[in-house]
Amino acid sequence: MKRIHFTSILAVVLLLSFSLHAQENLSFGQNKEIISPEIHTDNSVTFRLMAPTANDVSVTGDFLAPGEEAKMTKDADGVWSYTTHPLPSELYTYVFNVDGLQMNDPNNVYYRRDVASTLNVLLVGGGQADLYKVNSVPHGTITKRWYQSPGNNMARRITIYTPPRYEENNSSYPVLYLLHGMGGDEEAWMTLGRASQIADNLIAEGKTKPMIIVMPNGNVAQEAAPGESSLGFYKPEFRLPHTMDGKYEETFGEIIRFVDSQYRTIPEKEGRAIAGLSMGGFHTLHISRYYPDTFDYMGLFSAAIMPNETVKSKVYENIDKTLAAQNSNGYALYWIAIGKEDFLYQANIDFRKKLDEMDFPYIYRESEGGHTWRNWRIYLSEFLPMLFNKK
């Protein structure tokens, strides 16, 4: 008679239990498979939600006009649905509204955090958004590093992209410092901006030189993104202490020194670029003139321009004088991009007027739309090919 070991029986029981539990999770709350979102061949999208007892369900997202909601209709099985018109190729975010309560799509496991909100995402290909896909091309490496910041009296986390095959050679690479906006952190350009996918795809197409991309946390009051620091899990805030008060610009040299010491960089002006969106554009403007002979390429994406009048910092003294010094030292590219509907549009017009009066050369890119990630992803995809091509 064969002996059956207790440990073998226990393993089988645990395996069956896990399998049943997993299957319960897959079908929880619904009697049939629901596909949502479903992207059709004409690039229209159908959203679906099982909510048989709900009275009013709608979907809202950046495929609609700002503030607009699309009413969904309920079928006999209690499934609400809405189908869009064919959509342009883009990475979209959306949420449902069920009887006044905002909720994510339970059938879509793909979502992104933006400050304190989580939004589902979907990607419609066949155009611009093909750059945002993970395609069958050589891929760079993403690392989350910690560096010591004596100026902020803490260790801080930073995201760094190294290009394909960086680990396989001894070459030195130029560096782009890519800065996020207010409410963002060192994860924003990766999750919302698709920076690594854009870089991988443009490098594979031969349109962009291989480069290191450094994405710091622009909130000097933070060690790292929410949930990634010693503070644990807390609700993220939009505006933090020391926001745009000069402290980040003062201590930015620590980041450059860390990167140059840890990576095979080209540690000269010709090998450095800096760009950012909104608050990151503000930081780009002021870091590049505060260190006027450090960067050869600057990109201001929907940038905030001038500091608040109540802010007192040596960083914001003699702005015109330091801009003049930056101009005198020379640079390869100063690129300004903004949407026509952006709330910072007039501030950028005023800044360009200042530059014109100073004979400060720049390239201006005006787009449709406003203060959105849709624009910033496009700006990045246009900015990268212009970098490090100085003859």
Model pLDDT for residues 350-364, shown as the tens digit of each residue:
999 999 999 999 999
Mean pLDDT of the 237-255 span: 91
CATH number of the domain enclosing 56 = 2.60.40.10
Residue 299 lies in a domain: yes
Nearest to 323 by CA among 289, 353, 348, 350: 289
Q: What is the domain extent for residue 44?
A: 38-125
Mean pLDDT of the 213-224 span: 95
Residue 97 lies in a domain: yes
Q: Which helix (H) or strand (E) holds 253?
A: helix 247-262
Nearest to 387 by CA among 208, 230, 260, 135: 208
Average pLDDT of the chain?
A: 92
pLDDT (tens digit per residue) in 330-343: 999 999 999 999 99
pLDDT (tens digit per residue) in 106-126: 999 998 888 778 899 999 999
Q: Which amino acid is at 2?
A: K
Whether the predicted pLDDT of 311 surpasses 50: yes
| Total residues found in the chain within this entry | 391
Task: Give percent of the chain above pLDDT 90.
Answer: 83
Helices and strands counted in the chain (H then E): 8, 18
The confidence band for 281, taking pLDDT boundaries of 50, 70 and 90, is very high
Q: Are residues 251 and 115 in the same domain?
A: no
Pick from 76, 107, 125: which residue ends a domain?
125
Between 225 and 7, the more confident residue is 225
Is 293 buried (19+), middle (13-18) or exposed (0-12) by CB count in 10 A? Answer: middle
Pick from 95, 125, 155: which residue ends a domain?
125
Torsional sign, CA 299, 336, 383, 93: positive
Q: What is the CA radius of gyration of the chain?
A: 24
3-state per-residue secondary structure call for 164-189: CCHHHCCCCECEEEEECCCCCCCCHH
Q: Are residues 69 and 184 in the same domain?
A: no
- pTM for the structure as a whole: 0.90
Peptide bond into 385 cis (omega under 30): no
What does the block give as tokens for 247?
């402290």
The confidence band for 102, taking pLDDT boundaries of 50, 70 and 90, is very high
CATH number of the domain enclosing 361 = 3.40.50.1820
Cβ atoms of residues 285 and 316 within 8 Å: no
Count of the separate structural domains present in the chain: 2
Whether the predicted pLDDT of 23 surpasses 60: no
The confidence band for 194, taking pLDDT boundaries of 50, 70 and 90, is very high
pLDDT value of position 31: 52
Whether the predicted pLDDT of 25 surpasses 70: no
Q: Are residues 112 and 246 in the same domain?
A: no
pLDDT value of position 13: 45
Pick from 81, 106, 125: which residue ends a domain?
125
Q: Are residues 171 and 56 in the same domain?
A: no
Whether the predicted pLDDT of 234 surpasses 60: yes
DSSP secondary structure string for all residues of 92-144: EEEEEEETTEEE--TT---EEEETTEEEEEEEE-SSGGGGGS--SS---EEEE
Peptide bond into 37 cis (omega under 30): yes
Whether the predicted pLDDT of 10 surpasses 90: no
